[in-house]
Structure 1
Amino acid sequence: MFQGFLGTYTPRLDDKNRLVLPARFREQLAEGLVMTRGQERCLCVWPVEGFRQATRRLAEAPMTSRAVRDYQRVLFAGAHDEVPDKQGRVTVPQPLREYAGLVRDCAVIGADTRVEIWAADAWASYLSAQEDTFSALSQEVPPGLL
């Protein structure tokens, strides 16, 4: 069975700003996770080991590059680590909720090595805008990959 994160789910933030992780994601995130800012105003969630792997590669990038320093600052300054509770809930900190525009309805999507959390309306808009691009990009994917 595929070991990455797949699918789209629509949980809600509760009154304590907790999000129930989709049942299919809980086992991979049970030992702990790191949540931080992602691109396009979503949040990215990695299993702790997945975040370590990603940041190891980032640590190998040249510190003389302003783009690398800028990226590291934004990534790590917004990072939050947590272990989900027994019901699979995680708290989404206020700065991250504000960044992603999370109020109540969310879209939680599997993105292979990570999970992304979007405001439900932002995800719907993004997906709608990307439909044609997705179709066109299939021509750029290396032959035989898909």
Structure 2
Amino acid sequence: MFLGTHSPKLDDKGRVILPAKFRNELAEGIVVTRGQENCLYVFSAAEFNDLHEKIRQAPVTSKSARDFLRVFLSGASSETPDSQNRITLPANLRQYAGLDRDLTVIGAGNRVEIWDTEAWNTYLAANEEAFSNTTEEVIPGLF
């Protein structure tokens, strides 16, 4: 499980060093793709394969399912960490997420999310109070 918040830097070649505590789970391969709210999702290869199997169950006759599948999978890139534990974030994904030098990498359970630091800070500021004040069940059976 991926947890925590980290602040790595993007180098001039579009590479990032993922946090050490995430490396074991990602050692067998990584898939990076577009995420919601203009961040990037990073999945282990195994988790991405499981997710893909679920996506494949969606009916081809559903326009919203087709749209989601196209955007989600067309941006996906299989990456392998180099000897210094860096992965390259493809230019189209960096552009999608508005990534510059300063990144925020968060653990989000089954995935890692990569955010532009300013975008993350804006998102967190806009959502932190609502999170603190949640008085109803958001996820069935959680609390």
Same fold (TM over 0.5): yes
2:21 paired residue among 10, 24, 29: 24
CA offset digits 1:73-95 (Å, max 9, x no partner): 00111000011112210001100
Q: Give RMSD over aligned pairs.
A: 1.4
Aligned residue number for residue 135 of structure 1: 132
2:81 paired residue among 81, 84, 87: 84
Aligned-residue sequence identity (percent) comes to: 53
May I ask how many residue pairs the two structures share in their alignment? 143
SS of match in other structure, 1:109: strand
Displacement of 1:141:
4.3
Aligned residue number for residue 56 of structure 1: 53
Deviates more, 1:115-124 or 1:136-145: 136-145
Q: What is the alpha-carbon distance in structure 1 between the residues aligned to residue 139 and residue 43 of structure 2?
A: 27
Give unpaired runs (5+ residues) of structure 2.
none
Q: What is the alpha-carbon distance in structure 2 between the residues aligned to residue 143 and residue 31 of structure 1?
A: 32
Give unpaired runs (5+ residues) of structure 1.
none
SS of match in other structure, 1:98: helix
Q: Please state if 1:46 is matched with 2:54.
A: no
Aligned residue number for residue 36 of structure 1: 33
TM-score (norm 2): 0.95
AA partner of residue 132 (structure 1): E
1:69 paired residue among 46, 66, 84: 66
